[in-house]
Structure 1
Amino acid sequence: MSTTATATLADRLADVWADFEDRLTRVPVLARLADGTVTLRDYERLLFNLRQQVVDGSPWISRAASNFDIPHFELRAAAIRHAEEEHRDYLMIERDYVAIGGSLDELRAGRKNLGSEALSGYMFTYADRPNPTGLLGAMFIIEGLGARRAAGWAARFQEVLGLADAQVRFMTYHQEADAQHTGGLETILESGLLTEDDENEVVRCAEVVARLYALQLEELDR
């Protein structure tokens, strides 16, 4: 009997998350953060690269919302709410970047790195599908990262680099905000709205996004 047939959706997503966490430990900038050798330049580069992808977050969620039909009204409504909550997030990165001495003009003129290009391209392409329920898997990864890891990263950057609270707002904000989002996501995943095919798509999308998000962090500036 296959794993798909015997494991719950929660179990399957937990496995994806465990693999994602393991891969993150091998991302160079995060490894330096963990061992205390991270530099202010590393943090600046991280913010620079994240901003170029985060600015696309609300647009792909909005596009996904527009492709849910009436039988998927609850998913459409949730996506619309989420897009509204996310559409200013990149401004927090910009403020953090300027607060550590970065140039706002250079930040806004930046381009996506290789991983960010792949991630955004995948998200927009998937969002164009009719009833793109698999994107719940993308949200599981991205929102889970904010809820489970962002505040810890912020605290570690502050500890190693002596940063002020006003220089890590993006990460600290996302612990609370994404925790709320993941709570809503769990409600949807456990609601019975998803068919077996939907669940398979959720897991596959989570797997792809986990890999591409890690790639984004691995390919800073490329």
Structure 2
Amino acid sequence: MTTELTAEASATVESLTERLADVWVELEERLAEVPILRRLEEGTVTIDDYLRLLFNLRQQVVDGSPWISRAASNFDIAHFELRAAAIRHAEEEHRDYLMIERDYVAVGGSLDDLRAGRKNLGSEALSGYMFTYADRPNPVGLLGAMFIIEGLGANRAAGWANRFQEVLGLADNQVHFMKYHEVADAQHTGGLDAILTSGIIDDAAADEIVRCAQVVARLYALQLEELDR
């Protein structure tokens, strides 16, 4: 992935980078209007809000490693680098939901209630889309999903954790999931950036990546908008 790019490949990389940046700006604008995040910013968020957020995130996060594994199984040998990256990623994330469970219990939530929970409307849509897309042959577009999900972990999760601590007086062991992902997802986004700028993405794949990023950005925000539904 360190070879010099052709002019055509360089143009594709530049265009893809710009288009994904536009998707990210739209996501940031939408997140600013999500009620629980607006209350967090205003300092009016409550412990109940935080418990609700963890409860809803857990039901979707538990599906993360399975859809990544499914995607890995659908990459052929011509996409070996993407298959290998997906396998590593699935292994790294398959216990993430346990961190949410520990945070939830540390704040006073019931583990039995959490594990008996169901996905909200947005989480249902997000997980359904991810599994369906992962079933495609060579689902390269899922790099767009990773751009959104890992980007939120790397760029927003720690800020949310710190703000919850400021407003609610939470301890580090009560916001571990969000703080952990600042570091872990920064590493993942570094690997993702290397793939996106490597020259192995052609124009057709770039279109799929951008489209998938747009869909996942909308559905992730919907998940946060539809807490408890």
Q: Report the alpha carbon displacement of residue 7 of structure 1 after superposing the two structures with TM.
A: 6.1
Counterpart pick for 1:184 among 186, 191, 195: 191
Q: Deviations over 1:24-83 (max 9, x none)?
A: 000000000000000000000000000000000000000000000000000000000000
Residues 1:57 and 2:64 are matched in the alignment = yes
Size of the aligned set, in residue pairs, is: 219
Structure 1 match to 2:214: 207
- What residue is the counterpart of 1:159 in the other structure? 166
CA spacing shift, 1:126–1:83, aligned 2, 3 Å: same
Equivalents in 1 of 2:201, 2:91: separation in Å? 24
**Alpha-carbon distance between aligned partners in 2 of 1:145 and 1:198, rounded to the nearest angstrom:** 22
2:33 counterpart SS class = coil
1:40-79 maps to which residues of 2 (within 5 A)? 40-79=47-86
Task: Output the TM-score relative to the length of structure 2.
Answer: 0.94
Please say if 1:11 is aligned against 2:40. Answer: no
Q: Partner of 2:43 in structure 1?
A: 36
Q: Distance in 2 between matches of 1:43 and 1:136?
A: 29
Query: Whole-Å Cα distance in 1 between the matches of residues 46 and 38 of structure 2?
Result: 12
1:194 matched to 2:207: no
Query: Aligned residues: percent identity?
Result: 80
Q: Matched residues in 1 for 2:218 and 2:199: separation? A: 27
Match of 1:137 among 119, 132, 144: 144
Residues 127-148 of structure 1: per-residue CA shift (max 9 Å, x gap): 0000000000000000000000
Q: For residue 200 of structure 2, give the secondary structure of its aligned residue in structure 1.
A: coil
Alpha-carbon distance in structure 2 between the residues aligned to 1:168 and 1:108: 19
Query: Which residue number in structure 2 is paired with residue 85 of structure 1?
Result: 92
Query: What TM-score, normalized by structure 1, do the two folds share?
Result: 0.97
The 4+ residue runs of structure 1 with deviation greater than 4 A are: 4-7
Q: Which runs of 5+ in 2 are unaligned?
A: 1-10
Q: Which residue identity does 1:171 align to in structure 2?
A: M
Structural RMSD (CA): 1.2
Q: How big is the shift at 1:194?
A: 1.1
Give, as a single letter, the amino acid of the residue that structure 2 aligns with 1:48.
F
